[in-house]
Amino acid sequence: MDSVQKKVNIRLETTINDNGSKEHNTVQETGKFFIKGNRHVLMFEETLDEELKVRNLVTIQDGSVNIKRTGPVSMNQKFDINHITENVYKHPHGTIHMETFTKKMTYKQKSEITEGQLAISYTVKLNGQDERKHDLILSYKEESE
């Protein structure tokens, strides 16, 4: 299935725990999934407030994940087990420096059909403030004809 694109339904759930105060967000979109070499790639557009579209590109490889967002909101966030990675999050109201520490990452794919789940537990420091715990679960499944 090298570089063959499949249309998939995507569900992205994020939970942020800020000293006991939890914020939960769910995004459901249709996108594309393909395999290029040893990388699994998901592409989808997310609609923010006011009908703004943000393009998301999620690249999954052995031991690392990269989430690139472009549009009115942009960032290139890398997840690397037991490492701190840095990036800049840009949005219409300004720019935020992010430090991400990836604690745990699992990726499971069902072999017979295009279906999988990525789970990442990590912490983020925004502009040097106290870290907040994040959990991300990204599920995808090939769309039925």
pLDDT in tens, 7-47: 999 999 999 998 889 999 999 999 999 988 889 999 999 98
pLDDT digits (tens, 9 = 90+) for 109-130: 886 668 999 999 999 999 989 8
Euclidean distance between CA atoms 54 and 105, whole angstroms: 24
- Residue 56 has what pLDDT? 97
Q: What is the pTM of this model?
A: 0.91
- Residue 1 has what pLDDT? 44
Identify the burial level of 92 via C-beta atoms within 10 angstroms of its C-beta, where 0-12 means exposed, 13-18 middle and 19 or more buried. exposed
Using DSSP, state whether 51 is helix, strand or coil. Answer: helix
Euclidean distance between CA atoms 105 and 66, whole angstroms: 12
Return the residue matching tokens 């339904």: 9
- Residue 87 has what pLDDT? 95
**pLDDT-based confidence at residue 52 (cuts at 50, 70, 90):** confident
Who wins on pLDDT, 5 or 49? 5
What DSSP character marks residue 72? S
Euclidean distance between CA atoms 8 and 42, whole angstroms: 9
Q: Is the dihedral of CA 10, 28, 96, 127 positive or negative?
A: negative
Domains of the chain, each with CATH number or no CATH: 6-142 (2.40.128.20)
Q: Is the pLDDT of residue 2 over 90?
A: no
pLDDT digits (tens, 9 = 90+) for 53-112: 999 999 999 889 999 999 999 999 999 999 999 999 998 889 999 999 999 999 998 866
What DSSP character marks residue 144? P
Who wins on pLDDT, 36 or 51? 36
State residue 16 phi and psi, 5-degree precision: -115, 125
Question: Tokens for 133?
Answer: 């715990």
CB contact at 8 A, 41 and 57: yes
